[in-house]
Chains A and B, each alone.
Chain A
Amino acid sequence: MYLKRFFLVLNLIFNINLISQNISQFNIFYNDTKDPVFGAKVLFYKGVKIVNNSLSDENGKVEFNRDLDFEYLEIKKSGYQIISFSKGTNISAIYLKPRANEIDEVVITGQIIPGNKYQSPFKLKFYSKEEIESKNSVNLADFLQTENNFQITQDAVLGTKVSLNGMNGQDLKILIDGIPVAGRLNGTVDFSQILLNNIERIEVVDGPLSVIYGTNSSGGVINLISKSKVKEDIAVNANLFAESVGQINFNGSISTNKKGNQIRLEFGRNVFLGWDQFADSLKKTIKPLWRDEDWNPKEQYFANFSFYRALNKKSKLHLKFNGFWEDILNKQDPASAYSENVIDDQYKTSRINIGGTFDYKINNEFELLQSANFTTFIRTTSYYSQNLTTAKRSLLNQVDENFYNFFYRAILRQDAFKTKVKVLYGMDLNLDMLQAQKILNQTKALYEVGFFSMVNLQLNEQLFFQPGLRFANNSLFPSTLAPTFNLRYDFSQKASARLSYSHGYRNPEIKELFFNFVDNNHNIQGNQNLQTEENDNVQLGFDIKSNKEEDKPHSYSTSFTLSLISKTNAIEIVPVDVSKNEFQYQNIGKYNSMVFSLDNRMKINNIMFGLGGNISGFSRFYNNTANQISQFLFNGSVNLNCTYTYKPWSTKFTFLSKFYTTNTISVLNITNNRVETSEFPSYIMTDFNASRNFFDKKLSVTIGVKNIFNVKNLSVLGYNGNFHSAAGSNEVNFLWGRSIFTTINLNLSK
């Protein structure tokens, strides 16, 4: 603090000196930390015309000629309130306050320079801490359930899968603080393992971003930003979540900020007792002992550690440890009423991440960002013989799957303000190694090295052009080029249009190539002949938003996007022998989709209102089949989210609803080599909750109901080529119906 004051006085002295040289200056600081603001834009206006501009340096200093002919100036920094004052105002220090309005957010995912999402040529979604908390979602899958363009499917063993715009989990890159989440089951990350306790905000790039993030990002990128910054000297948080379906979660954290060392430690335990749709009814009357459940009991532990420190004005260090342990017990029914022994399977997962980031500001123009991370993902499937009469069990067989990943990324970003050119240069290295009993030689490894660059050119005041290119070299597949071209045109401060083209790719993963996944419910074979999936994506978008500078109590934003995606060599898991329940990864052919998406958000005083929807069409062309379903098959969804704060009660009410139309998809039936259709019926998910703070926000209590309309399971009509059944109409375990929940949150800080 003394140092800052010293510099401030020094600056003022220097200022006088400059004034004498006909130069004026002032300094800009962050209001909360009092750190100098680097890169704030200063626009000098005469009437509505900008006559000059400048940029604050690393000390927050802005200089301008006193003789400059202007009437007033504006200071802009993304995420902070705009400050303006007239020429002649005697001011030497400016303090920027963060914007409270949620419609204008600063995003970092896929950006050359962090900025407002409306300045990006990509379609970006931003979910604030408040939005995450208002949904009371335990994990990422829960959170995305009621979000536009997302579709959730469940598997009792492989977990929860998410698709975005019809692009499956294999095409989605999940990042935590920019680091890819390693450890995929059946090609996709289990979204129910991505817990939100430690998440500050979520950013979603709704479109391909292979140019920066490489493989597995041709469908989009979900970046979760964890809580790392600590403002208080010491803060303690405890959170209890209980849901009537049999879920009880606890997590607690302690964080401290001493002498700039920001440390956060968090731990938690989630328990799910299991659920079966007929647990209390039919099954019990037929079979005296019903152990198998639609949703297996599950226990999760996690521990997170974060250390953050600004080493000096130029460099910042962030170190992280994340540990996650999960135990799923898949209980089986006894073979008959008189069976004493059953074979249960148990799935234990541990995911350990150790990593960090180091940011170094080379000068006013260049900044180097480096991140490195090591992940171990271990999944053990154990088969136990359990004697029901003694409750003793003995291990029969154990299958281990050990996955190791090392990831390194270096990004050099250049913000040449004078030429209005922003450039990003980067490289990343990804090393994967899988050890498992059922892959060739029990160990397989691959690496990918990528070099990429993206340029943001401001061609004029309204038109931005952002091309990019990635070159990737993979140890098992031919080198790949992934170009992208993006245009954004600002009609005004309120309206803009986006047009982008991207070429994305996804290299088959080790498991898809070599792994055989066999358990009680699955028999999935790898395929060494798989080729790289490639896709072309064209996206056209229009954004309209209210003018932020007016700082009105009302604000709105509207975003319309049309996405066209064409994927070749699409990799899918298809049945190769239904009688053995055997599936294999194959390049099934070509996949086209078109998605019309509309998102509206509005804030009126204490009401936040979101209304969105999409119409999605998909067509698949399978190789060497007896027939084709060439036309687009359409489905849609409408989501409505509303939050209202009733100030006299200090109570916030949240309503979330999403309606899914009937969803018809084409599926290759290997047994008769014909393309057939599966149809998922329409359904609606609706949640409601109310939360209230007590004792000066030290204690908050939320009660609510999830799945108000009690949707439990859906009957799939037509061919069902999933892992659990062979044919016909059958029920898919999808949702566990209506439940009530409560959350108690305790926050102590000083």
Chain B
Amino acid sequence: MKLKYNSLIFFILSLNSCIKVIDGPIDIQKPNFTAIEIPLTKDYSQKVYYSLATKSIVKTTNTYSWDIAFTSDLTRKGKVLLNYAYGETGGKGMNTLNTDFDSIYTASNIEANALKFKYANFYDINSNLFDNSLSYINNELTSNQNVFILVLEPGRVIKVQILQYTKTNVVFRHGKIDNTDTVTVSMPLNPNNNYNYYSFKNKNIVSVEPSSNTSWDIEFTKYTTLLTEFNSTRYYAVTGAILNPSKSLEYTMINNINIDNVDIAKASIQSYKLDLLGIGYSWKKFSSPSSDGFYTIEPRTYIVKEGPTFYSIQFTEFSKLIGTTMEKGYPQFLQNNL
């Protein structure tokens, strides 16, 4: 009897000690399409212009190298942009409705009018700060020369006044709100660029876009947009893909499908939309508030249509292991030209 009990105890002990969670290895078969990595880098300090046709990066620029941008296309809404990478706390301003540039403003003036602040994003026409001060009549653009208080980023506040704005040139002046450090700038506008960029900090013109606005299709960048995902709607900095507004790019997305299951026949029967932010940021899902930068990627394939040509894209990662840290800011995707 004793032997039986001892055997039972031994059996139970053995049974329990055998049980263990086994994790992998797993066979992951990646399709043989071009794998692209977009180096926005840590803190998204770079913006990247990408060409679908050539499957290559056309240009990489410092995200924060510029503060204001002017388009030479005077018919476009969103003629003047502020750097849209600062999120809720920057890239916004207020129309003082005052044309006297020498008026002095204080921090308390600004704080009292905080609710009047607007953003200046070209894709957010309802919130464009400058448009109401620029009248386009008889092929000419007229500025009412109102002075704007701009919060470029927390702690960096200036005032600016657009004096003259033509298709080829813009004249404006800017200075600190206490009316010091004022500068008047005459900036030529390159029609081959969507926008022409200027840095208030360095008081110089900055080259941001590739030399030709038809050489690229997607701008990967950090940008500010109105988010409704929180309990209250708010402007928030996201990171994603913006389609080139100068090209007639349409897009669609098919959920729960991998890129190797999307062929020309499937792409041809989809309905496409003209939406610069159609791809946007929502292909990834924030998964971790910690510094390991972990995001999950939505199981979907995007198709971008340019005339008769279809490009399929499936994002695979947003983070990259660098040393012992998983750094976010490295979108990776597979691309197939159908």
Q: Is B109 an interface residue (CB 8 A)?
A: no
How many residue pairs at the A-B interface have CB separations less than 8 Å? Answer: 154
A578-B230, A581-B289, A726-B231 as given contacts; A297 in contact with B12, CB under 8 Å: no
A250-B16, A343-B326, A748-B5 as given contacts; A335 in contact with B295, CB under 8 Å: yes
Q: Return the CB mask of B9-44 against A: 1 if under 8 Å, else 0.
A: 100110111011101111110110000000000000
List CB contacts (< 8 Å) of A262-304 with chain B: 269, 271, 273-274, 285-287, 289, 291, 297, 299
Q: Is B316 an interface residue (CB 8 A)?
A: yes
User: Which candidate, B114-122, B198-206, B317-325, is the interface stretch facing chain A?
Assistant: B317-325
Say which residue of A287, A389, A669 sits within 8 Å of B27 (CB atoms).
A389
Q: Is B296 an interface residue (CB 8 A)?
A: yes
Cross-chain contact A391 with B9 (CB below 8 angstroms): no
Chain A residues, CB < 8 A from B271: none
In the complex, residue of chain B having the shortest beta-carbon distance to the beta carbon of A673: B232
Chain A residues, CB < 8 A from B20: 271
A238-B8, A340-B28 as given contacts; A523 in contact with B21, CB under 8 Å: no
Q: Is A671 an interface residue (CB 8 A)?
A: yes
Chain A residues, CB < 8 A from B272: none
Q: Is B181 an interface residue (CB 8 A)?
A: no
Cross-chain contact A578 with B26 (CB below 8 angstroms): no
A238-B8, A269-B17 as given contacts; A335 in contact with B296, CB under 8 Å: yes
A582-B289, A726-B231 as given contacts; A238 in contact with B9, CB under 8 Å: yes
Q: Which of B21, B296, B319 has the most CB of A within 10 A?
A: B21
In the complex, residue of chain A having the shortest beta-carbon distance to the beta carbon of B2: A748
User: Which candidate, A326-334, A630-638, A732-740, is the interface stretch facing chain B?
Assistant: A326-334
Q: Return the CB mask of A44-81 against B: 1 if under 8 Å, else 0.
A: 00000000000000000000000000000000000000
A238-B12, A343-B294 as given contacts; A337 in contact with B289, CB under 8 Å: no
Chain B residues, CB < 8 A from A397: 291-292, 324-325
List CB contacts (< 8 Å) of B265-297 with chain A: 284, 287-292, 294-297
| Distance in angstroms between the alpha carbons of A340 and B334 in the assembled complex | 14
Nearest CB on B from A333, distance (A):
6
Q: Return the CB mask of A372-394 against B: 1 if under 8 Å, else 0.
A: 00000000000101111111001
Cross-chain contact A389 with B316 (CB below 8 angstroms): no
Q: Is A719 an interface residue (CB 8 A)?
A: yes
Cross-chain contact B25 with A286 (CB below 8 angstroms): no
Chain A residues, CB < 8 A from B21: 273-274, 297, 299, 329
Q: Is B299 an interface residue (CB 8 A)?
A: yes
Cross-chain contact A271 with B16 (CB below 8 angstroms): yes
| Distance in angstroms between the alpha carbons of A236 and B13 in the assembled complex | 14
Q: Is A396 an interface residue (CB 8 A)?
A: yes
Cross-chain contact B319 with A336 (CB below 8 angstroms): no
List CB contacts (< 8 Å) of A240-266 with chain B: 240, 248-250, 252
Nearest CB on A from B299, distance (A):
6
In the complex, residue of chain B having the shortest beta-carbon distance to the beta carbon of A744: B12
Say which residue of B12, B284, B287 sits within 8 Å of A520 (CB atoms).
B287
Say which residue of B19, B23, B325 sits within 8 Å of A391 (CB atoms).
B23
Cross-chain contact B28 with A385 (CB below 8 angstroms): no
Cross-chain contact B16 with A335 (CB below 8 angstroms): no
Q: Is B138 an interface residue (CB 8 A)?
A: no
Chain B residues, CB < 8 A from A340: 28
List CB contacts (< 8 Å) of B287-338 with chain A: 287-292, 294-297, 299, 314-319, 321, 324-326, 334
A388-B25, A520-B290, A727-B230 as given contacts; A338 in contact with B13, CB under 8 Å: no
In the complex, residue of chain A having the shortest beta-carbon distance to the beta carbon of B296: A335
Nearest CB on B from A597, distance (A):
35
Q: Is B258 an interface residue (CB 8 A)?
A: yes
Q: How large is the interface on A (under 10, 10 to 19, 20 to 34, 35 or more residues)?
A: 35 or more
Cross-chain contact A286 with B8 (CB below 8 angstroms): no
Nearest CB on B from A558, distance (A):
42
A271-B19, A333-B296, A578-B230 as given contacts; A746 in contact with B5, CB under 8 Å: yes
Nearest CB on A from B330, distance (A):
11
List CB contacts (< 8 Å) of A512-564 with chain B: 518-523
Chain B residues, CB < 8 A from A698: 5
Q: Is B132 an interface residue (CB 8 A)?
A: no
Cross-chain contact B12 with A388 (CB below 8 angstroms): no
| Distance in angstroms between the alpha carbons of A124 and B236 in the assembled complex | 53
Q: Which of A329, A335, A385 has the most CB of B within 10 A?
A: A335
Nearest CB on B from A11, distance (A):
43
Nearest CB on A from B13, distance (A):
6
Q: Is B256 an interface residue (CB 8 A)?
A: yes
Cross-chain contact A396 with B256 (CB below 8 angstroms): no
Q: Is B229 an interface residue (CB 8 A)?
A: yes
Say which residue of B236, B290, B318 sits within 8 Å of A579 (CB atoms).
B236
Q: Is A339 an interface residue (CB 8 A)?
A: yes
Cross-chain contact B290 with A335 (CB below 8 angstroms): no
Say which residue of A521, A580, A672, A726 sits within 8 Å of B229 (CB atoms).
A726
Say which residue of B25, B289, B296 sits within 8 Å of A580 (CB atoms).
B289
Q: Is A341 an interface residue (CB 8 A)?
A: yes
Cross-chain contact A339 with B12 (CB below 8 angstroms): no
Cross-chain contact A385 with B12 (CB below 8 angstroms): no
Nearest CB on B from A86, distance (A):
49
Cross-chain contact B325 with A396 (CB below 8 angstroms): yes
Q: Which of A339, A523, A669 has the most CB of B within 10 A?
A: A339
Cross-chain contact B16 with A672 (CB below 8 angstroms): no
| Distance in angstroms between the alpha carbons of A289 and B20 in the assembled complex | 20
Nearest CB on A from B228, distance (A):
10
| Distance in angstroms between the alpha carbons of A621 and B295 in the assembled complex | 37
Q: Is A395 an interface residue (CB 8 A)?
A: yes
Cross-chain contact B292 with A383 (CB below 8 angstroms): yes
In the complex, residue of chain A having the shortest beta-carbon distance to the beta carbon of B317: A335
Q: Which of A299, A523, A579 has the most CB of B within 10 A?
A: A579
Nearest CB on A from B127, distance (A):
19
In the complex, residue of chain A having the shortest beta-carbon distance to the beta carbon of B283: A336
Chain A residues, CB < 8 A from B289: 518, 520, 522-523, 580-582
Chain A residues, CB < 8 A from B297: 335-336, 339
| Distance in angstroms between the alpha carbons of A39 and B222 in the assembled complex | 78
Cross-chain contact A385 with B321 (CB below 8 angstroms): yes
Cross-chain contact B24 with A386 (CB below 8 angstroms): yes
Nearest CB on B from A625, distance (A):
14
| Distance in angstroms between the alpha carbons of A580 and B87 in the assembled complex | 13
| Distance in angstroms between the alpha carbons of A700 and B160 in the assembled complex | 85
A240-B12, A343-B294 as given contacts; A338 in contact with B232, CB under 8 Å: no
Chain B residues, CB < 8 A from A387: 25
Chain A residues, CB < 8 A from B27: 389
Cross-chain contact B294 with A332 (CB below 8 angstroms): yes
Given known contacts A391-B26, A698-B5, what 11 new A-B pairs fall within 8 Å (CB)?
A236-B9, A335-B284, A335-B317, A336-B315, A340-B28, A343-B288, A389-B28, A390-B25, A672-B231, A726-B230, A746-B9
Q: Which 9 A-B pairs have the closest CB atoms?
A: A391-B24, A250-B16, A336-B297, A391-B25, A581-B289, A523-B289, A336-B316, A671-B231, A238-B9
Residues of B within 8 A of A (CB): 5, 8-9, 12-13, 15-17, 19-21, 23-28, 30-31, 229-232, 234, 236, 256, 258, 284, 287-292, 294-297, 299, 314-319, 321, 324-326, 334
